[in-house]
Structures are given as C-alpha cells and as structure tokens.
C-alpha cells in the first residue's frame, strides 16, 4: 500500500479532510507530519533563502520531517479557485521549491487547480493525480466525489455549528488535534467577541502564532474565525470593501474583516506573516475601513521568527484591556 | 498612611511610584535596570523606603513593563499589567482631556490614541528600534558626550542637517558622513532628533490621527531637543508631564488602587524586606518535546517561586517538580 505524506502546513488546515478522503478511497494510507515545533521551523529556515516567508519555511520543515515516513508527498498547487483570482507565487512554486531544497524527499505528487482553465481541465488533472493509484477512471471519480463531500461536511461543521477549525478537523477525521479545546467560560464577565482574520495556516499553527486563540480564550474572549462565516456573506463583504477579489484567499482577510466590521464584534485582530505581499495589501484595506468606521478596534499582529513572545503578549493584553475598559465606560454611561 | 505601589521594570530603567489614598504621588524612584531586573527592583524598594514615613501601609501593588511578571513575583503583585495600559491610565489621570499619548522608552516606542477619555487605538514599534532611548544613548556614547549634553547642544542648533532616520545603521553612517563633511555637531545632533521624530511618526504613528492635547512621556521626554522636534513636526503644543519618566509606575499604582477598591482584597505585597532576600534566577532547556523551550525560573532559598518561558504550562505550575521526574527532561 502506498503511503502519502501531507505536511501539516499552509493549505493543510483548509483541505486536509478532502485530501485524506481522496487518497484513502484510492487505497492509499495518509500520514501527516507532527505539529510544528521549534525544530520544524529551524529545519525549514536553514534550507531556504533568508527572505522566504515564515509559513513557507514552516512548510519546508514539515516536508523534511516526512522524509522516510512515506512513499510520496502530496503538494497541490492552487492557482485560482474563482475566475480571475490569483495566488501568491510561493504557492505556485511550492512543489518545485520543495524539490530543490529537500532533495532527499520522496517523489512529489502534484495537482494544479486552476479554475481559469475550465472544468474539463480540472477533471483531467484530478484523473491524472488519481492515476498514480489506479487506472480505473470510475474509481478516481468516486474518490473525488467523496473527497468533495467531506470538504463540504468539514466546512459545514465550522460555519453551521461554529466549531473552531481544529475541533471540526478532529470530528471529521477522527484524528486528535493538539490542544485548542474550547474553554468553558464562567459567565461572570460579559463575554467579549473577537473576530480573527488571516489565513488558516497562521491562525491555527500554535507554534508560530504563540498560542493566540488559547490566550484570547484565557482573557475570556469568544473567538470567531473566518471559517465560521458562510461563504456568501464573506463574498459579499469582499465585493463591498474591495470590489472584485484579486487574491485567491482574499475572503479570509478582506471578506471576514469587512463582515466583522459590520456585525459588531468587540474587536478585530488581523494576523499576518512578516513580509507577506498579499497580506500587507489586504490587512491595510481592512485597517483603513476600521479607522474610517471608528467603532470597532482593529489591531494587526505580524508574525516572524522571534523566539520571544513578549511583543505579541503585550499587544494582546493591551488590546483586551482597551476593549474591556471601553465596555466598562460604556456601561457606566448607560447607567 | 495607606498607599499603593507601582513598579515599572523596563529594558533600560526601573521605576517605582507610591500613591496615597487620594492618588497623590508621595514619592518615586528612577534607576537603571542594567540588565539585572531583580537587583533593580530590590534597590528600588530600598530607595523608596528611605523616603517614606514609618507608618506606611501598602494596600496594593501592581507591576508593569517588560519584566512585569518577574517583578510581580518579587514584590508579590496584586496586579500585573502591560505598559501600554498603565501609561494610558496615568496620562488620563493627570490630563482627562488628552487625545494623544506619545511614549518613548529605552527600547519601545508607543502611541496611544484616546477619544472622550477612552483608549481607542494604539501602536507599538515593530521590527525597528530606531528612535528609542537606547539609540540616542549609543550615539551620545559614540560622540563621547552624556545624553544630557547631547540634548543641550542639539537645542542650540539653528540650521539642522538632514539625517536618514529609517534605520539606526543608516542614521549612524549618515551622521559620520555629515561629520566628515564638516557640519557643526549641534546641527547634526538636532538633525538626528528630527530624524527620530520623523521615523516615529512615519512608523508608529502611521495612519493614526494625532489630535491635541498631545502628551509626551517616558524617559526620552527628558530630551528637550526631541520635544522641540516633536513640536516643530506636529506644529502644535506637546505637553511633557512633570513626572513623565515614572508615568508607567504611576499608572500601575492607580490600577492597583482601582483593583483593590473593586475587589476589597488584601494585598499580596511581600513587604519592603524583600529587598534583602536573596533571589536566584536560572534557566534550563526543557527536553520534554522538540520545542526545547528555554524555561526561566526564580527561586528563593532553594524553593522555586515561579517559572515561565515555556510553550505549555507544564512548568508554570510550581509543583510541577513533583509531577515530572525533572532529571529526565531538564
């Protein structure tokens, strides 16, 4: 039986249930690299040029940790998911970059998803991927349909039942995800709702974001993430804020940000990686709208390879203080 | 006399402030941290005690600054608060109508935007430390003058030269270049001050509305040349509070008072005798998982008081020593 390795980084967070279903339907076994640790990051950073972004370094680190544990590594390339949207070049060159910097890696399974080229080409590409496991097109089709269904189920868990991504992942794959169990809150203080915006690979990698969600929960905050918002709402917000989406993953930042600004959360925190081109544009757009709107506090945290978490903690504490004191003052005025 | 104590341990200086029941400043101390925060806090406690009457009764203690958790363990803090909040609380206490708070310390510079007495936005310098006190100190040292002299001489400048302020490395090479071209030192120094102010406004102040009244606090506010540069650049009055250098500690004391008043608690303050206790700080690499966290611990007479620095809370509970066979993972 073939073992397919999947690095626990970048698109893993959004699509893993789909990939797992696809490969398992084709009779393969799936292994995921263990959660990010300092070793993963150091290993990844030591192999790429210095100005590669943090999430890409993490990705390389995960790939290295899969060497010797699988027969091939699956690295999809997502060019576009909607017509006339574009993705960052780091995503487009991911398999080639990995081959270059991890020469000891087993063969890399690729698929290029580009909606711009039409559905026919997409189906051909899926079949090409499936052919590594079977010659029977019907079997590939069956696997692809099941995979798509599990992605829909996964998303539904997040936006209909408001499960935070790791919980949904755990429920659908049956694999335990480290940590991030919702803390049951005592309702002594009025709950504070924080809208988080940013890519899933930053929001849910506890190592690189210094356990952000866990910390927010410790400050008695209810966290709402982009995955918990239904697609049509997010899409409408993107159109409102930015006109037509340009980037493939614009919804997670601009869409969610726009929605949070309108839906009345107590504060919005944006998470981006230092040196990320698309994010620097998208976060700025949300920031500008927040400044103009004046009612919802917004803060952007930039993640980098700092080993000290002090900077992030001080900002988070100050942000939560700001919201709490604002609420206290507001209530005092009402009374 | 009942009083509340605020302790602010920053990267470069340590500040203590004591407020009485009506939140009046009774006494304060300001000393260098010199990379030894524990000693600095103990020295601060010793110094402030000398200024106090015998009957002083500490009702609440709060710590702030980058070493707030460490300081909190030593003094027995009732509240540990970040320095952004404490600075805002102190500024609002003295100037209820403040709209903008500029705070520049040893390694951090911050901007807090206040409207109607409520903090609505803040920013902190990110990857760059250009324009903070440490850099000015470094430049003064390089020119073989004290930081006071740098401030005095820069103030006399009439025709400042332009220095690149984006990056401390570039600023330094720019200054060297201008010196070698023969410009007056005074003009170069004031040019440097202007560059730092420009950098602050373009970095920390980016996209923020800086409305007057503007309060400028923190150690760098001692530097009259920087104050002048801010006034000229913003074209408005910049208020420097009398106790601008201990505002963080004052804010902490105010918050300690507030906290004790709402919770009616008894202070955890360990007493001024703590200044004589021998503390031992150490660190080790935890080997329990591949993260290899650098865990710091502080102990007194061989008994661990607190640990931090781990990604998980395995070491933070002091009793962990018994739970884990420490020899294996330490």
Predicted confidence (pLDDT) per residue in A32-50, tens digit: 999 998 889 999 999 998 8
Spans of all domains in chain A: 3-157, 185-334
CB contact under 8 A, B292 and A311: no
Task: Say if CB A32 and CB A166 are below 8 A apart.
Answer: no
Angle of the A256-263 helix axis to the A231-242 helix axis, nearest 10: 90
| Residues B113 and B236 both lie in one domain | yes
Predicted confidence (pLDDT) per residue in B123-139, tens digit: 988 766 666 888 888 88
Instruction: Identify residues of A whose CB sits under 8 angstroms from chain B CBs.
Output: 37-40, 206-207, 211, 274, 287-288, 291, 294, 297-298, 302, 304, 307, 310-311, 313-315, 317-319, 321-322, 325-326, 329
| Residues B78 and B186 both lie in one domain | no
* Pair of tokens at residue B104: 């520049």
pLDDT of residue B82 exceeding 50, the answer is yes
Closest to B12 measured CA to CA, from B133, B174, B113: B133
| Residues B28 and B115 both lie in one domain | no
* A307 chain-B contacts, CB cut-off 8 A: 294
Q: Which fold has domain A3-157?
A: Rossmann fold (3.40.50)
pLDDT for residue A256: 93
Please indicate whether residue B209 or residue B86 has the higher confidence score (pLDDT): B86
Compare CB distances from B85 to A211, A304, A321 and report the shortest one's residue: A321
Do A3-157 and A185-334 show the same overall fold? yes
Predicted confidence (pLDDT) per residue in A151-203, tens digit: 999 999 888 877 788 888 888 888 876 554 444 444 455 678 999 999 999 99
pLDDT for residue A101: 95
CB contact under 8 A, B121 and A39: no
Give the domain extent around B18: 2-87+247-276
Task: Output Rg (C-alpha) for chain A, integer angstroms.
Answer: 20
Mean pLDDT of B191-202: 89
| Residues B216 and B258 both lie in one domain | no
| Residues B206 and B77 both lie in one domain | no
Percent of chain A with pLDDT over 90: 55
pLDDT for residue B169: 79
| Residues B213 and B83 both lie in one domain | no
| Residues B78 and B172 both lie in one domain | no
Task: Say if CB A234 and CB A277 are below 8 A apart.
Answer: no
Mean pLDDT of B324-328: 47
Which residue of chain A has the CA closest to B65? A314
pLDDT for residue A97: 94
In whole numbers, what is the pLDDT of chain A averaged over residues? 88
| Residues B114 and B228 both lie in one domain | yes
CATH code, domain with B172: 3.30.420.40
pLDDT for residue A43: 92
Query: What is the ipTM metric for this complex?
Result: 0.83
Closest to A310 measured CA to CA, from B9, B284, B89, B282: B9
Q: Nearest-CA distance from B84 to chain A in Å?
A: 6
CB contact under 8 A, A302 and B122: no
Q: Nearest-CA distance from B227 to chain A in Å?
A: 26
| Residues B118 and B223 both lie in one domain | yes
In whole numbers, what is the pLDDT of chain B averaged over residues? 87
For A185-334, CATH gives 3.40.50.11900
Task: Say if CB A80 and CB A114 are below 8 A apart.
Answer: yes
pLDDT of residue A102 exceeding 70, the answer is yes
Task: Say if CB A329 and CB A321 are below 8 A apart.
Answer: no
Mean pLDDT of A250-270: 91
Domain count, chain B: 3
| Listed range (A76-90, B72-86, B303-317) with the worst mean pLDDT | B303-317
* A326 chain-B contacts, CB cut-off 8 A: 118-120
| Residues B223 and B102 both lie in one domain | yes
Predicted confidence (pLDDT) per residue in A124-137, tens digit: 999 999 999 999 99
| Residues B26 and B69 both lie in one domain | yes
| Residues B114 and B223 both lie in one domain | yes
Residue B117 forms contact with A (CB below 8 Å): yes
Q: Nearest-CA distance from B323 to chain A in Å?
A: 20
Work out the pLDDT band at A307, boundaries 50, 70, 90. low
């Amino acid at each position: 039986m073939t073992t397919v390795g999947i690095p626990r980084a970048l698109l893993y967070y959004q699509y893993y249930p789909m990939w797992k279903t696809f490969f398992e339907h084709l009779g393969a076994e799936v292994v995921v690299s263990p959660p990010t640790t300092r070793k993963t990051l150091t290993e990844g950073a030591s192999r790429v040029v210095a100005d590669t972004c943090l999430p890409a370094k993490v990705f390389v680190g995960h790939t290295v940790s899969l060497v010797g544990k699988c027969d091939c590594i699956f690295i999809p390339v997502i060019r576009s998911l909607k017509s006339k949207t574009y993705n960052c070049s780091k995503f487009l060159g991911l398999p080639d970059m990995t081959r270059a910097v991890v020469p000891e890696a087993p063969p890399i399974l690729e698929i290029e998803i580009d909606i711009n080229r039409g559905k026919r080409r997409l189906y051909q590409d899926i079949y090409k991927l499936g052919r590594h496991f079977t010659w029977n097109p019907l079997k590939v089709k069956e696997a692809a349909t099941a995979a798509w269904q599990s992605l829909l189920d996964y998303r539904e868990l997040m936006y209909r039942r408001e499960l935070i991504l790791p919980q949904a992942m755990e429920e659908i794959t049956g694999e335990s995800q480290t940590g991030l169990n919702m803390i049951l809150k005592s309702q002594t203080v009025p709950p504070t709702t924080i809208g988080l915006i940013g890519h899933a690979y930053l929001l849910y990698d506890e190592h690189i974001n210094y356990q952000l969600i866990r910390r927010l929960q410790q400050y008695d905050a209810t966290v709402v993430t982009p995955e918990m918002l239904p697609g049509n709402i997010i899409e409408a917000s993107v159109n409102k804020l930015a006109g037509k989406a340009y980037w493939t993953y614009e919804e997670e930042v601009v869409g969610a940000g726009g929605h949070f600004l309108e839906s009345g959360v107590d504060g919005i925190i944006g998470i981006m990686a230092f040196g990320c081109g698309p994010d620097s544009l998208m976060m700025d757009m949300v920031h500008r709208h927040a400044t103009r709107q004046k009612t919802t506090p917004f803060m952007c945290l930039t993640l980098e390879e700092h080993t000290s978490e002090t900077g992030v903690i001080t900002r988070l504490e100050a942000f939560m203080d700001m919201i709490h004191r604002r609420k206290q003052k507001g209530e005092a005025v009402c009374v | 006399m009942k009083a509340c104590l605020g302790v602010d341990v920053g990267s470069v200086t340590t500040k203590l402030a004591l407020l009485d029941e009506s939140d009046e400043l009774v006494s304060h101390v300001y000393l260098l941290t010199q990379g030894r925060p524990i000693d600095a806090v103990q020295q601060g406690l010793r110094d402030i005690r000398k200024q106090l009457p015998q009957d002083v009764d500490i009702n609440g203690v709060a710590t702030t600054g980058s070493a707030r958790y460490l300081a909190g363990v030593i003094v027995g803090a009732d509240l540990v608060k970040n320095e952004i909040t404490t600075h805002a609380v102190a500024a609002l206490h003295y100037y209820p109508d403040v709209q903008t708070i500029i705070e520049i310390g040893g390694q951090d510079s911050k901007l807090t935007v206040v409207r109607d007495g409520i903090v609505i936005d803040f920013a902190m310098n990110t990857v760059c430390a250009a324009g903070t006190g440490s850099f000015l100190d470094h430049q003064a040292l390089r020119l073989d003058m004290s930081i006071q002299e740098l401030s005095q001489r820069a103030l006399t400048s009439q025709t400042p030269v332009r220095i690149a302020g984006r990056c401390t490395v570039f600023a330094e090479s720019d200054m060297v270049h201008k010196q070698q071209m023969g410009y007056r030192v005074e003009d170069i120094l004031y040019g440097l001050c202007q560059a730092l102010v420009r950098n602050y406004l373009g970095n920390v102040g980016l996209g923020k509305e800086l409305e007057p009244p503007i309060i400028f606090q923190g150690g760098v506010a001692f530097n009259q040349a920087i104050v002048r540069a801010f006034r000229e650049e913003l074209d408005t009055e910049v208020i420097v509070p009398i106790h601008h250098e201990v505002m963080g500690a004052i804010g902490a004391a105010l918050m300690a008072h507030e906290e004790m008043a709402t919770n009616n608690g008894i202070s955890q303050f360990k007493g001024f005798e703590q200044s004589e206790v021998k503390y031992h700080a150490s660190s080790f690499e935890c080997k329990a998982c591949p993260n290899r966290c650098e865990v710091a611990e502080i102990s007194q007479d061989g008994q661990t008081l607190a640990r931090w620095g781990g990604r998980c809370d395995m070491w933070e509970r002091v009793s962990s020593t018994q739970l884990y066979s420490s020899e294996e993972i330490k």
